[in-house]
Chain A
């Protein structure tokens, strides 16, 4: 009897998990393995394809294009992720504290950009930045000042930071807001009894209690930012001189694979990027594991 029950558990468990398992193996494990395999070869005009072991990786990590692209996404993460999370946290705390019809309306409007494809978001901001369509020329013209050129090489970094913040702050806000709404209000009452003010309640009770949600969005934004592609790729046509084909590692991999048909090297870059992201995020989660993390 006991053995029969155990067998049923195995069979039914695998029946439920199996379909996803097949997709997991064919569309995640197999491509990863294939990328690793492809990345160990090189295609030459003379001599055809040959096994070169780690040469593509040596090449990638000494390739100025890959290195500068990697530095860009790292710098970009360091600036844009704290900005997005601080903004989302501030918004969530405000919306948690203020209850009015307007605050409910604001919550929806701030979340709205999440429903917009990143490509369309980049197109819209591209218009707003542009000299011929955007309001910046008029706005700064009022004061006789030269408008900032967010598509120029000096400010493109901040132009992109702004687009990403606009796109994602609302989504992160909703996740944090949902976590804040889950806190027992009796805790605030108790804190007030002990003489805690509004700021102290926010800093000492609310923020520590939503730490797992903060960690979750930190991981999401890190994974998203390191594979930055859509926005700079879309703005490229508007800012041709500023954004090169090797602006981010992902754009460089795309260029190598699809513009230059250099699939072996493109695979190596993809795999290297994927590996760096995986190890980076995993290491980060490991370090923060002592606190109650979301995994």
Chain B
């Protein structure tokens, strides 16, 4: 790793490379096409959507607000509920998983306790267990305790984030020097206070990264809530839109309004995460390199 100073010196001249920028331009268009399509078509009324006009450009009549109102009023505003559910699952799962991961990562990095090596190798092994393999047995277990079809059925399994533990372990090991911890202890700080007031601030970039990664994983989750939930008022937005799409495809003719709801619903569902990512950019970029560099 170099200091910022020498790096700035080596990169003083901006590198333009026109042909590469043109190539980048084409690739950016590819990555943005689906967003563009959704934005354009969320503004169309039914004739505009089905009239056979240009699918990548706006129709003569723009009815964005009408579609938006329809989305949030359809079926007693079920869509708003789905968004709130997704938010709850992402926040509860994300915050919970992060707290557990930060504590465990710090514990693994800074204490030589019994069975530490063995436990940590179990965590590393768990990185390779596909999450979906756990869905069916977890469903069976939860149904024994009457937990299926409750919010807990979605939140509890999201608390498990072995990759977060691994990231926090690496980060705590490298970014929190033992000397600082020993100094805090010598000054009379207890273990908990040393962790909260000395170690935690040093680990903040990785904490934000783990928080974002786990919140995104919960927000994106589909298989787990699909299996666990049967009451559509508990659905996250992913399962809800999947449900609408199934209904709309099944009776193509009679569900013209549902298609425009799905388009608007897709657009509205991506906005919260896009905002979260852009506003927190500074924080997660630093932490993301941790896992890749070792």
Interface residues of A (CB under 8 A from B): 8-17, 19-21, 23-24, 27-28, 30-32, 34-35, 38, 91, 94-95, 97-100, 102-103, 105-106, 108-121, 123-128, 132-135, 138, 166, 170, 174-176, 178-179, 181-182, 184-186, 188-189, 210, 212-213, 216-217, 219, 223, 226-227, 229-230, 233-234, 237-238, 240, 250, 253-254, 257-258, 263, 266-267, 270-271, 273-274, 277-278, 281-282, 292, 294-295
Contact = CB atoms under 8 A, between A and B. Distances in A.
Nearest to A189: B10
A196 B126 CA distance: 43
Interface stretch (B61-69, B70-78, B136-144): B136-144
Given A15-B107, A115-B274, A182-B293, 13 more contacts: A27-B134, A31-B134, A99-B14, A119-B241, A120-B266, A166-B31, A166-B34, A178-B289, A189-B10, A254-B223, A274-B134, A277-B128, A277-B130
Nearest to B124: A295
Interface in B113-153: 113-114, 116, 119, 122-141
B103 A175 contact: no
Contacts of B282: none
B266 A98 contact: no
B139 to A, nearest CB: 7
* Residue in B242, B248, B262 with the greatest tally of chain A CB atoms within 10 Å: B242
A17 B108 contact: yes
A112 B274 contact: yes
Interface in B142-176: 156-157, 159-160, 162, 165
15 contacts: A9-B112, A9-B113, A31-B141, A35-B137, A117-B222, A118-B222, A123-B242, A127-B41, A128-B33, A175-B291, A182-B1, A213-B293, A217-B292, A227-B130, A229-B222
A292 B246 CA distance: 47
Given A237-B250, A267-B137, A116 B273 contact: yes
Interface string B158-198: 01101001000000000000000000000000010001000
Contact of A118 (B113, B220, B263, B292): B220
A134 B55 contact: yes
B56 interface: yes
Nearest to A11: B113
Contacts of B49: 133
Contacts of A281: 128
Contact of A184 (B2, B132, B223): B2
Interface string B258-286: 01001100100110011011100100010
Contacts of A110: 27-28, 31
Interface string B221-247: 011001100000000011101100110
A184 B7 CA distance: 8
A27 B292 contact: no
A266 B227 CA distance: 13
A81 B172 CA distance: 31
B27 A135 contact: no
Contacts of B14: 99-100
Contact of A210 (B20, B28, B113, B292): B292
Given A115-B270, A128-B37, A237-B250, A179 B263 contact: no
Contacts of B126: 24, 28
Nearest to A181: B289
B27 A28 contact: no
A185 B270 contact: no
A17 B288 contact: no
A217 to B, nearest CB: 8
B130 to A, nearest CB: 4
Contact of A267 (B11, B136, B269, B292): B136
Interface string B1-39: 110001100110011110011011101101111110110
Nearest to A19: B100
Contacts of B27: 91, 106, 110
A115 B134 contact: no
A121 B17 contact: no
B218 to A, nearest CB: 10
Given A12-B111, A91-B27, A179-B293, A126 B134 contact: no
Contacts of A219: 127-128
Given A31-B137, A178-B292, A227 B31 contact: no
> Ordered nearest first, which 4 A-B pairs have the shortest CB separation?
A13-B113, A16-B107, A274-B133, A13-B111
Contacts of B227: 254, 257-258
A120 B107 contact: no
Contact of A278 (B33, B103, B129): B129
Nearest to A15: B107
Contacts of A189: 10
